[in-house]
Amino acid sequence: MAWAMNRIESAFSKAKSEGRSAFVSYVCAGDPDIETSLEVCRTLIKSGVDVMELGVPFSDPLADGLTNQLAAQRALESGTTQADVFDLVRKIRAENDTVPIVFYTYYNLMFSNGLDQYIAAARAAGVDGLLVLDLPPEEAEDHLASCEKYGMGTVFLIAPTTPSDRVGYIAKHATGFVYYVSRTGVTGVRDDLADDLNEMVGMIREATDKPLVVGFGVSKREQVRAICELADGVVVGSAIVNTIKENLGDTAAITSNMGTLVSDLVAGTQVR
């Protein structure tokens, strides 16, 4: 198990040693097509992201707002398959062996082809962690066993509505990091941060010493900085995905706009 955890652990401890929080980016694999997706991942790494969350395109992404739903749709319409997603990870790994890759996925995509086989294949390709949006830890026994068997990190979500006695239970099953969804509802850019963020982060901190990241709705450097004052990492998705949507058909414009945005947001992680 150590090898998988090392990339995730190393990313958070490296950020901490540099007086900042980790920057976690989200894009959907294969958006808008698999070739451009590789350029997008290269751009993210070059722009300084610490952890890459890759959405696995799915026809029913129920946790995602419109921006990320459309990204999954573009990926599927361009013909992206599960094999393509694994191949994308292998190509990234051939160029970069340090940035952790976490799949942001749904249970059916794993279960339908055999859970064990899926996790083994993801691990072999170079995936470090799995965030399964629709799988609560109470129902994750088989998933947790397979992840342990293949040295795959697990990430679970905590929501603003999660009661305090359940926070510890969820955190206990996360071997990679804990992801606090700072808003109820689906993914998407918001103008302001949640009022109870400080209080919720404090409650989660009391329950676990695992790295804690905060996401959903983050799009500006000030928001990144405010979150990084409190948490070990910040997740930005929709704002990054929008740079793809706004420049479809022009890979150079996608990577240039994304590079500018992400470099600016990453600068907001420096808090000490």
Domain boundaries, the chain: 2-13+20-264
Q: In whole numbers, what is the pLDDT of the chain averaged over residues?
A: 93
The pTM assigned to this predicted structure is: 0.95
pLDDT tens digits along 200-220: 999 999 999 999 999 988 999
Catalytic positions, written as ranges: 53, 64
94-98: average pLDDT: 97
pLDDT over threshold 90, residue 185: no
pLDDT over threshold 80, residue 164: yes
Q: How confident is the model at residue 146, as a pLDDT?
A: 97
pLDDT tens digits along 35-74: 999 999 999 999 999 999 999 999 888 777 888 999 999 9
Structure confidence at residue 78 as a pLDDT band (50, 70, 90): very high
| CA–CA distance, 171 with 161 (Å, rounded to integer) | 15
pLDDT tens digits along 227-259: 999 999 999 999 999 999 999 999 999 999 999
pLDDT tens digits along 3-39: 445 899 999 999 999 999 999 999 999 999 999 999 9
Cis ω on the peptide bond leading into residue 32 (within 30° of 0)?
A: yes
Question: Which superfamily does 2-13+20-264 belong to?
Answer: Aldolase class I (3.20.20.70)
pLDDT over threshold 90, residue 225: yes
Q: How confident is the model at residue 193, as a pLDDT?
A: 77
Q: How confident is the model at residue 196, as a pLDDT?
A: 85
How many Cβ atoms are within 10 Å of 66's Cβ, its own excluded? Answer: 12
CA nearest neighbour of 236 among 44, 43, 35: 44
